[in-house]
Amino acid sequence: MASHEDHQSRDSPKVLLFKPPPSMNLIGEQPFTSTKFQYLKAYESPLPLDQFLATHAKSIQAILSSGSVPVNTEILRQLPNVRVVVTTSAGLNQIDLPECRRRGVIVANSGDVYSADVADAAVGLLISVLRKITVAGRYVKQGFWAARGDYPLGSKLGGKRVGIVGLGNIGSLVAKRLEAFGCQISYNSRNKKPSVSYPFYPEVRELAANSDAIIVCCGLTDQTYHMIDKEVLAALGKNGVIVNIGRGPIIDEKEMVRLLVQGELGGAGLDVFENEPDVPKELFALDNVVMTPHNAVFTPESMHDVAKHVVGNLEAFFANRPLLSPYMDD
Amino acid sequence: MASHEDHQSRDSPKVLLFKPPPSMNLIGEQPFTSTKFQYLKAYESPLPLDQFLATHAKSIQAILSSGSVPVNTEILRQLPNVRVVVTTSAGLNQIDLPECRRRGVIVANSGDVYSADVADAAVGLLISVLRKITVAGRYVKQGFWAARGDYPLGSKLGGKRVGIVGLGNIGSLVAKRLEAFGCQISYNSRNKKPSVSYPFYPEVRELAANSDAIIVCCGLTDQTYHMIDKEVLAALGKNGVIVNIGRGPIIDEKEMVRLLVQGELGGAGLDVFENEPDVPKELFALDNVVMTPHNAVFTPESMHDVAKHVVGNLEAFFANRPLLSPYMDD
């Protein structure tokens, strides 16, 4: 066995791993392994990163990245033989995509393996905010029910106008779920989708003005950075609810916090934040804010799915087959 | 105006109110009022209840009851002119139905005005338990994310086998919602429903043995009291989740608490309890238990709907028209 491993280790293509992605931390390395390639683990080396990269630059053909592992110009320059970057994340904001394009490096994200889980989490956050499930639960667990009586009313889902910001895989699944609750769906995206019958708003501020809740489902790009700004949040208004399962910086967090604290925004369900894992402390005391620690994608099922997907993408690359989920500019 | 009111007060039919239903406490009395009848409020009288009833027995033709106001043989005997009992509750377990039948008193519940809200709450509780939204939210609000890192995995909704106990209005709406999440629905009820294609289990224990989660959506009757007993919960097993938005005593709560504490049941989402507002304190410390204070029906929208429904039922009765939601034995 040892000699077989030595043989494999010598010959199989090398995939650089700066640090284990969260999914690998959560379910272990085994589901990410393959007989067709081998990970070079920068985090297990005693060498400083630059030296590690210099030592292995020649053999590294691929990088496995995750949401918190940037792949920037500097890195790409040090690794001229890299031809593919595969991520365990759906978002690619940590990757310098123009630089990859310039260098002919192809990029593959997690495809839609997380989409259903993220959509479920978005709906869970919305119900939890509207129906006060989290805060009413605390009320019960603190023993207040018997002493203080009925808990203040939540708000009905049925009939609520829900605006989806970004109607891709995830946004479409959120819409499908909320239709079953009797919500009225409309959406904003870069372009109107010809196959979709939901009302389309070309301006996100207009979407917010015509919605009881908006759900941020898009990716983070230069165009979507702080797209949900003071004006959009003001248009959503003091009874409006914002849910974010996209990326923190899509919302101007400082403005959102200010409006929530001042009661000028109705509530928020947040899985993502501008400076994770730091969360604005002003939100801790607000009963109309439900937060989860960027774990909308984290189920054992999706972790195993993404491992399979990563291995599939890398094996496809090394076998000169098309990737499972190549990133395409559009 | 005063003379008109006097006139109305003298002539309009009388509806007994023992105490304001929760919906009236929450949205006020006005939506429950009508020019066609008048409430006699026992709780505003200085007289002891028996004396109050004796004084007004002749004029009381109707009772407005709620979940916590029993209408038993004793009450009915004291009020021989009562011909109708209207409730603000969906459940009728507080009403002595056989005695009503014997006396020719017709009974009307809240119909399906709450069904969507209760179904929403059931789904919200299930997502919150499976995806750990409530407990992960506490983790964030306590400031643990930065210090302790990622939160333990929840569990995916998609593909979960969900057993609905009682496929009436509410159960059907729960099923419809969970289908949109990719759950596999099956059900138990008194009889197989010919128009329903979900798999039917005549025995609730069999349903539990073949489910990842069961959702109790039925009413409380002699037949359903402690129907979810030790054996059913054991069949659900240590990864199984129970959600109850029906009535507390449908579950053997003591057994459920024991199994949850011992880790032999996977989790629980509970809106109702055996001895409300008392909740077993053993549940307070369990992260896999999400509880709400019997408020699954409590949205402003449903409170106004039920007021309209109560008025509609009572006006129909006094006009000799059919009730909106007469209770029928089946």
- Total residue length of chain B: 330
Task: Give the gap in angstroms from C-alpha B84 to the nearest C-alpha of chain A.
Answer: 28
Q: What is B114-291's CATH number?
A: 3.40.50.720
Pick left, alpha or beta for residue A293 (phi over 0 → left; psi -120 to 50 → alpha; otherwise beta): beta
Segment B183-211 mean pLDDT: 97
Cβ <8 Å between A154 and B295: yes
- Whether A146 has its CB under 8 Å from any CB of chain B: the answer is yes
Segment A19-33 mean pLDDT: 94
Check pLDDT > 50 for residue A158: yes
Q: How far apart are the C-alpha atoms of B82 and B143, rounded to whole Å?
A: 58
Q: Which of B240, B235, B265 is nearest to B253 (CA)?
A: B265
For B144, residues 6+ apart whose C-beta sits below 8 A from its C-beta are none
pLDDT bin (cut points 50, 70, 90) of residue B153 is: confident
Contact pairs from chain A to chain B, CB under 8 Å: 194
To test the contact with chain A by mutation, choose from B156, B172, B288, B294 the residue with the greatest count of A C-beta atoms within 10 A, namely B156
Segment A70-98 mean pLDDT: 95
Q: How far apart are the C-alpha atoms of B113 and B130, rounded to whole Å?
A: 28
- Domain locations along chain A: 14-109+300-319, 114-291
Residues of B in contact with A149 (CB under 8 A): 277
For B308, residues 6+ apart whose C-beta sits below 8 A from its C-beta are B31
Alpha carbon distance, N-terminus to C-terminus of chain A: 47
Cβ <8 Å between A301 and B123: no
Whether B276 is catalytic is yes
**What are A258's two structure tokens?**
């200010």
- Total residue length of chain A: 330
Segment B96-115 mean pLDDT: 95
To test the contact with chain B by mutation, choose from A66, A129, A153, A161 the residue with the greatest count of B C-beta atoms within 10 A, namely A153
Looking at domain B14-109+300-319, its CATH architecture is 3-Layer(aba) Sandwich (3.40)
- Whether A28 has its CB under 8 Å from any CB of chain B: the answer is no
For A72-119, give the DSSP string: -HHHHHH-TT--EEEESSS--TTB-HHHHHHHT-EEE--TTTTHHHHH
Which residue is catalytic, options B205, B253, B274, B294?
B294
- The chain-wide mean pLDDT, for chain A, equals 94
- Whether B283 has its CB under 8 Å from any CB of chain A: the answer is yes
- Whether B251 has its CB under 8 Å from any CB of chain A: the answer is no
Q: Nearest CB to A279: which of B26, B145, B276?
A: B145
Kindly give the pairing relationship between strand A289-291 and strand A267-270.
parallel
- Helix %, strand %, coil % of chain B (to 5): 40, 15, 45
Q: How far apart are the C-alpha atoms of A141 and B289, rounded to whole Å?
A: 10
* ipTM of the prediction: 0.88
The alpha-carbon radius of gyration of chain B (Å, integer) is: 22
Bridge partner list, B63: B16, B85
- Whether A134 has its CB under 8 Å from any CB of chain B: the answer is yes
Predicted pLDDT at A150: 82
Cβ <8 Å between A136 and B182: no
The alpha-carbon radius of gyration of chain A (Å, integer) is: 22
Check pLDDT > 70 for residue B77: yes
pLDDT bin (cut points 50, 70, 90) of residue A7 is: very low
Segment B39-67 mean pLDDT: 96
Check pLDDT > 70 for residue B5: no
Instruction: Please report, for residues A286, A315, B109, B168, B312, the alpha-carbon distance to residue B324 in angstroms, rounded to integers and kept in the order given.
Output: 41, 64, 9, 17, 7
Cβ <8 Å between B176 and A179: no
Predicted pLDDT at B7: 46
Alpha carbon distance, N-terminus to C-terminus of chain B: 47
Q: How far apart are the C-alpha atoms of A328 and B10, rounded to whole Å?
A: 78
Q: Using an 8 Å Cβ cutoff, are A292 and B133 in contact?
A: yes
Nearest 10 degrees: Cα torsion A314, A315, A316, A320: 100
Q: What percent of chain B has pLDDT over 90?
A: 90
Check pLDDT > 50 for residue B300: yes
Task: Give the gap in angstroms from C-alpha B11 to the nearest C-alpha of chain A.
Answer: 36
Kindly give the pairing relationship between strand B213-216 and strand B241-244.
parallel
Match 């009313």 to its residue by tokens: A153
Domains B14-109+300-319 and B114-291 share a fold: yes
Q: Using an 8 Å Cβ cutoff, are A203 and A210 in contact?
A: no
Residue of A nearest to B304 (CA): A156
- Whether B303 has its CB under 8 Å from any CB of chain A: the answer is yes
Q: Nearest CB to B153: which of A141, A156, A298?
A: A298
Predicted pLDDT at A9: 54
Q: How far apart are the C-alpha atoms of A52 and A268, rounded to whole Å?
A: 44
Q: Nearest CB to A146: which of B277, B295, B299?
A: B277
Q: Report the catalytic residues of A.
A: 247, 276, 294
Q: Nearest CB to A153: which of B153, B157, B299?
A: B299
Cβ <8 Å between B121 and A128: no
Match 């009307």 to its residue by tokens: B108
pLDDT bin (cut points 50, 70, 90) of residue A5 is: very low
Task: Give the gap in angstroms from C-alpha A57 to the nearest C-alpha of chain B.
Answer: 31
pLDDT bin (cut points 50, 70, 90) of residue B329 is: low
Whether B7 is catalytic is no
Residues of B in contact with A293 (CB under 8 A): 136, 139-140, 145, 150-151
Q: Using an 8 Å Cβ cutoff, are A36 and A6 in contact?
A: no
Pick the more confident residue, B128 or A6: B128
